[in-house]
Amino acid sequence: MMHRHPILRTVSKLLIAPIMLFALYVQFHGDYGPGGGFQAGVILAVAFILYALMFGVETARRVAPMSVLRFLTAFGVLLFGGTGVAGILLGGAFLDYNVLATDPKAGQHIGILLVEGGVGITVASVMIVLFFTFAGRK
């Protein structure tokens, strides 16, 4: 399929790592400016989808097996929800980040990183699962 397009494959190889790096930038820059977990998750999923388009869906499934993607989906949701529950257990409200540290400002920073991390992990894994599901149809 794509083995007849060496230029596309070479350019894809060069672009996948910077796309993933940009996803990390968007993820960790999200609490200071535009971006965050949802956007970073979609960008990270794009890197895997590009890989699958260039090197085959079966090869991509070996890189990101369905069992790992299911685990990451559940882990991301638990990270988001667990951060909210931690706020309740520490005497605040659901997703009240102030109580996550002795300094409210530090608590806000920790809370938003955890929540956005959970969102990013969940969105990326769900997008990849959706792609694999549709790409695997005959």
d(CA 67, CA 54) in angstroms, rounded, equals: 23
CA-based nearest residue to 106, from 34, 31, 39, 27: 31
pTM for this entry: 0.89
Query: What is the tens place of the pLDDT at every residue in 64-73?
Result: 999 999 999 9
Query: What is the tens place of the pLDDT at every residue in 24-45?
Result: 999 988 767 767 899 999 999 9
Helix pair 66-89, 104-135: axis angle to 10 deg: 160
